[in-house]
Structure 1
Amino acid sequence: MSVIEFEPVNRQSTAEMIADRLREAIMRGTLEPGDQLGEADLAARFEVSRGPVREAMQRLVSEGLLHSIRNRGIFVIDLTVDDVVDIYRARTAIESGALELILDGRRDHTHEALGPSIAEMTTHAATGDAAGVSDADQAFHEALVDSAGSPRLVRAARTLLIETRMCLGALQTTYPELGEQVREHVELREAIGSGPAERARTLLAEHMADAVSRLRGRVSEPSTPV
């Protein structure tokens, strides 16, 4: 397992706080695909007993971000090209479902909710900060699903968005030009806010299909791991 610098958590912290830290480490690539997680080691790093760490790890196993191998331990999942396709297939279903709820009376609210992430993407793109743009990209899609007002869609989307960042890994983005990434999201936001409903549906579907095409192209390159 990679050497990781975790800040100690408060002794009153819950297993969910530890799970959040581990999710973040997996998403950022600090914990890499295939890394083994040791219960005792993590408990020492977080300065907590093993109980909350064990519970946090089991939560991530149930979410599909970790997997347990009998008599070996718990590991960060590895993602294949087929996983990339499946992740985006699931995201398309979830975000399309969210969009239908949004189009049914939540358009103004969603347009406003998507504004901060667009502003962040624009700022980071102007400085060439690909990681910052990717963070804002994820925030955009989180806000999109959240705006639908469905807690179940939000829960379903959370793990998929983390897996999306795992797919990107060190690439941070598959866009050759960060401004293009921003423009796609601006167009989608405007369509959601006031454009024809069918245009919003089309732009979202094309956005997801394009992402799969870009990722497939990049992960198939000999020097690029999944």
Structure 2
Amino acid sequence: MNPEAASVVTIPRATFASIVTERLRASIVDGSLKPGSQLSEVELATSFGVSRGPVREALQRLVQEGLLQSEAHRGVFVPVLTDEDVRDVYVAREALESAAIRSIIAGERTVAASESLDRFVTLMEQAEAAEDWEAVGNFDLEFHVALVDASASDRLKRMFSTVISETRLCLGVLTADDARDDLVQEHRLICAAMKEGETEKALAVLKKHFDDAVATLSNRSRTDAAAVDGRGGPHE
């Protein structure tokens, strides 16, 4: 057997699709791909050095996740979320995560859940001390994913996978200036209430946490709109 031929490894199309998906997801979440941007299969295939097949598959996956929007006869775009969209995302999250908290406490799964959640709170705290706000945001979302996972409900987890992706889209517009001082403390309070089996207290802290998040995102939206006006943008 020719050694050179034996060393050639054919990379499956699925692997290319996964790589493209991950890179596009990261670009959407970190704001490199701005809301309203149109994505071209041809341009992306050239950029990634792959055929259009894996790119098409990656775009379809991200549409399913809610990170991209497909419009008939127009193409695929990064969604532009309105304030109403943001509020709706958090309404859905509050419903799903409240159900998860009730399930965890009622099912006496608070010990295992707390161990998992405490780990993410500690990571958030360390990232905050290092002023790594991107990491703070990532660990924040991982905390909430772990919370729903701890419910042991496959249906809650499936529904949550969509809204958490849309949350990442919301958070992509935030900057270090938007960082909240009480973010870590709110997560600690949720953990503490769950450990004590105090369902209503945990739900109240969760609601405040989401209300504060919506307010922060709305303020950022107004700030961005004002900046456009100041540059002589379309709002004039």
TM-score normalised per structure 2 = 0.81
Matches of 2:118 and 2:13 in 1, distance apart? Answer: 33
CA gap of 1:135–1:172, structure 2 versus 1, over 3 A, is farther
> Is 1:72 equivalent to 2:74 in the alignment?
yes
Aligned 1:8-19 pairs, distance under 5 A? 11-12=11-12, 14=14, 15-19=17-21
Partner of 2:76, secondary structure, is strand
Unaligned 5+ segments in structure 1 are 1-9
Aligned 1:121-136 pairs, distance under 5 A? 121-136=124-139
**Pairwise CA distance, 1:198:** 1.7
**Pairwise CA distance, 1:96:** 1.1
Tell me the percent identity. Answer: 42
Equivalent position to 1:196, from 195, 198, 209:
198
CA gap of 1:159–1:17, structure 2 versus 1, over 3 A, is farther
**Pairwise CA distance, 1:183:** 0.8
Q: Is the 8 A contact 1:165 1:172 kept in 2?
A: no
Query: Cα deviation per residue 1:74-116 (whole Å; 9 max; x = unaligned)?
Result: 1111111111111101111111111122112211111011122
Unaligned 5+ segments in structure 2 are 1-9, 230-236
Partner of 2:53, secondary structure, is helix
Q: Is the 8 A contact 1:23 1:162 kept in 2?
A: no
The count of residues paired between Structure 1 and Structure 2 equals 214
Q: Is the 8 A contact 2:66 2:165 kept in 1?
A: no
Q: Is the 8 A contact 2:69 2:78 kept in 1?
A: yes
Q: Is the 8 A contact 1:27 1:163 kept in 2?
A: no
TM-score normalised per structure 1 = 0.84
Equivalent position to 2:92, from 74, 90, 95:
90
Q: Is the 8 A contact 2:41 2:56 kept in 1?
A: yes
